[in-house]
Structure 1
């Protein structure tokens, strides 16, 4: 299931978003036991409780992979880690392992091509007590872009998401979004929140706050998961204060009820 975060340009351009466990060490080869790999190839939101709680997994490793020249900023990464720490119980800690991969030379990527890149390059999978997340930053745009609508990111598996860093870099040339780190962090946290199970995507609703017209998004106007936070009038105003939009109380209640903070 594709979940994306989007942004409306001043010129009316819109962005749409919207186990076999053998030991305690992450695997070091993309050619891994199929039963192990399959645990990280499930539907978006299905690992909500495992990501949020420490019942099964005591720590988390983020395999952050990027094409040369398209590495997210240290500020965005640090903000992302702080977000995870604030929302999850992982007493063993959060580890980010950054790695550069070669460019495919493609200008656009289909969803199948994104999953193929993960399948060929991912080295970290769930182990006995550590859950693994794959975060890919690519040097092209989404093939789903159509006309004036372009995709910034997609949460496409239970522990996987992609950020179209090339698109973000182009957008951050606009005066509206000159703070690229803040835009990066907002997109990353929105997509990761889908993986955490929001909204009504693995973390059961504790109140009726899913947007009926924009599925899997919150209907609270100032929430990170509100679909209008994907427009200039929404996210533009929200990040103008210098911080990533926060999850509202109802989204937080969903996460807490499913094992999170």
Structure 2
């Protein structure tokens, strides 16, 4: 099964040095029959985000100085992308560590996509149904391994054909001079929004485009530099600059107008 998974799918990953598609594979839609854009944007009644973390890789929680819960960012973006549904799904996002699930320490220095799928398969979880979709977010120690060794530049990956996303905490914490400051926290949330975007079907990854805005040179990404689905190709400073605007103005919605138009055109 793992050999089949490796050859049949790609991974979308967000990097300190850019966001790109590629890798050793993650899963197939046959393993997740209720994980598809046509259900998310047309009939699913509830979207649930399930969060798992290794000791030492706990997600950032808490609030900004202005009182914004950091997990409001992901929740607001999910509500925004589904607002075009005639009957919007209920979105459930945990916001406190106590609402998330602690894992055992796997003591791994790097993770292949197939190993992330294997971790998911051995972790107790609730499967999606035709009316209730679950997305599984794993916060891990160590680094992503595309098959050619550990990469210290990959922040997160979305395993194509699955609702599984992995965030590599060591890389998140390296994005700010102060690991406990606001920049890594916004980077973590923007990475979650970006990878959720891929998992939901953007850009041209299951949700059809209304206008031509795919950055075909970089896979399922947009050409709009002001959208979270743009490939950050200016290094760590580029990603930090992207989140800085949200830190400054307090806004939370990170989708660009073209992605929102795609969601509107596909929603039912």
What TM-score range do you get, normalising by the shorter chain?
Answer: 0.7 to 0.9
SS at match of 1:132: strand
TM-score, reference length from structure 1: 0.77
Equivalent residue in structure 2 for 1:113, among 112, 115, 131: 115
Q: CA deviation at 1:122?
A: 4.1
Q: In the alignment, is the contact (CA less than 8 A) between 1:222 and 1:248 conserved in 2? A: yes
Q: Residue 154 in 1 paired to residue 160 in 2? A: no
SS at match of 2:186: helix
Corresponding residue for 1:5? 14
Equivalent residue in structure 2 for 1:253, among 244, 250, 261: 261
Q: In the alignment, is the contact (CA less than 8 A) between 2:20 and 2:219 conserved in 1? A: no
C-alpha distance in 2 between matches for 1:179 and 1:206? 33
Q: In the alignment, is the contact (CA less than 8 A) between 1:41 and 1:159 conserved in 2? A: no
C-alpha distance in 1 between matches for 2:79 and 2:233? 23
C-alpha distance in 1 between matches for 2:90 and 2:19? 36
TM-score, reference length from structure 2: 0.76
Q: CA deviation at 1:61?
A: 1.7
Alignment of 1:85-96 (within 5 A): 85-88=79-82, 89=85, 90-96=88-94
Unpaired stretches in structure 2, ≥5 consecutive residues? 1-9, 22-28, 62-68
C-alpha distance in 2 between matches for 1:244 and 1:187? 13
Q: How many residues align?
A: 230
Alignment of 1:58-73 (within 5 A): 58-73=45-60
SS at match of 1:142: strand
SS at match of 2:141: coil
Unpaired stretches in structure 1, ≥5 consecutive residues? 8-13, 19-36
SS at match of 1:255: helix
Q: RMSD over aligned Cα, in angstroms?
A: 2.7
Q: Post-superposition, which runs of at least 4 consecutive aligned residues in structure 1 deviate over 4 A?
A: 145-149
SS at match of 2:115: helix
